Structure 1
């Protein structure tokens, strides 16, 4: 094998490739831990015309829920959609037996929103992205 050969790099990975990679990591994690309850947790809100105006995506595994994405269209903010998405995800996480919910947000995104909903910052990476920070937050919902 030629270690100096350039590997194929793309900024447009196929959805099937990402799904396969995710599945392989889940399989590895399950094999190492014996925990085989990984499930996606997604809520997508669309207009009657099919346009996405709000959504949340994450997963649960091993008694934990990770929220990876939460977004509300600019013209729909202030309607309580973010709160409803977050509460629905928390309710589902509890139904799935999760004892903690974690997420990451950026300093220019919504750390105050998450704090108002009971999340506490546990770590901050300064300078990611340049001039800003990534903030890791956790919440321990009531059982």
Structure 2
């Protein structure tokens, strides 16, 4: 297939169809390059007695790695241990899915200390986040973790 000069470049808001096509194309490329095609995703959710969201987590899995995309707990519930319970549930699910490690990033104004208290180690930082903040990248091995025994 040849792309000629008549191809069109377009910029716009988030495009769900484009996201789906890119996901499929990159998944196929990654599987061909690595021989690993065990991609998946999961979520953990806590709902209160009124049906309101207390907190939750979304994650992806691939090749034995779990990547935490988002973890959030409602402000009035943050001192009740829900963040820890959600994170432990996600780590347990990651193990069940065959993952032996987890990666996450958290801005310095969010919760890098929370993850470090749960055994995550910093692997790098991205500078230049507004307000002088940084994006802290972290990693945890689940193999042999005392929390998982």
- Relative to the length of structure 1, the TM-score reads 0.85
Which structure 2 segments of 5+ residues have no match? 145-149
Against the structure 1 CA distance between its residues 7 and 103, is the aligned structure 2 distance closer, same or farther, given a 3 Å change threshold? same
Distance in 2, matches of 1:6 and 1:39, equals: 31
Distance in 2, matches of 1:121 and 1:6, equals: 38
Against the structure 1 CA distance between its residues 33 and 6, is the aligned structure 2 distance closer, same or farther, given a 3 Å change threshold? closer
For residues 60-139 of structure 1, the aligned pairs below 5 Å read: 60-139=61-140
Distance in 1, matches of 2:72 and 2:87, equals: 10
Distance in 1, matches of 2:116 and 2:91, equals: 14
Distance in 2, matches of 1:31 and 1:51, equals: 42
Listed one character per residue, the Cα deviations across residues 46-66 of structure 1 (whole Å, up to 9, x for unaligned) are 345543321101111101111
Distance in 2, matches of 1:70 and 1:134, equals: 15
Q: Does 1:40 align with 2:41?
A: yes
Query: 2:26 aligns to what?
Result: 25
Runs of 4+ in 1 over 4 A off after TM superposition: none
Which structure 1 segments of 5+ residues have no match? none
Aligned length: 140
Against the structure 1 CA distance between its residues 50 and 22, is the aligned structure 2 distance closer, same or farther, given a 3 Å change threshold? farther
Following superposition, the deviation at residue 26 of structure 1 comes to: 1.8
Q: Could you say what the CA RMSD is over the residues aligned between the two structures, in angstroms?
A: 2.1
